[in-house]
Copies of this chain bind each other. A is one copy, B any other.
Amino acid sequence: MTDRQVFPPLALRAEGLACGRGGMALSRDLTFSVEPGQCMLLRGPNGTGKTTLLLTLAGIVSPLEGSFALQGSDDDSPMLHYCGHRNAVKPRLSVRENLEFWRSMNGPTGIAADAALAEVGLGKLRDLDAGYLSAGQTRRLALARLLVSLRPLWLLDEPTAALDAAGHELVSKLIDRHLGVGGLAIAATHDPITLPGPGRLHTLLLGAEA
């Protein structure tokens, strides 16, 4: 149920996709589609290619076979946020400067930087040197980047890494809200993620033959 449709109705479809590293396939023959308002969870043991699949969808690693497309987009402007293992947070810039930078780079189409910081629980730390943040705080800052620029597709690699219990809830809430406005999300995670409402979450299991 989408209460407010912000994005054009996009869908991510992959057909017979094989991704891998260094010419070697890690996952083969993946066929899936993610519709607006849906989130796909990638699960699987360590080293089965979750990160690789996300990088492939982000266009950074080239697929070995098959194809994928974000259907319904007409222009060529960037459509996705990638949030990887590494946080792209610069020490020496304050927390707010870090976020403002990405807001300018990705287009200030989302909420204001201060609001986003408050949202992820860093409101009080906004003038601290970002190099001093703890592991979890750094992760929260990386998540705030998703909020300051609107993009329909989120690719999240272990979004809950290093986060506390409140942080886990925060991630669920952010995804929930993003889906609510018609966004798409793909998240690789080892932690349980639950969303209210049925049919919005499905899981792609990698690597395990079971």
| Residues in chain A within 8 A of chain B (CB atoms) | 21-22, 44-47, 51, 85, 121, 125, 132-137, 139-140, 158, 161-167, 190-191
Query: Quick one: given A46-B140, A140-B46, are A134 and B51 in contact (CB under 8 Å)?
Result: yes
How distant is the Cα of A133 from the Cα of B46 in the complex, in angstroms?
A: 9
For A132, what are the chain B residues with a Cβ–Cβ distance below 8 Å?
Answer: 21-22
The quantity of this chain's copies bound in the complex is 2
Sampled A-B contacts (21; CB under 8 Å): A22-B132, A44-B164, A45-B164, A45-B165, A46-B134, A46-B135, A46-B140, A46-B163, A46-B164, A47-B133, A47-B136, A47-B137, A85-B135, A85-B162, A135-B158, A136-B190, A158-B162, A161-B162, A163-B190, A164-B190, A167-B190
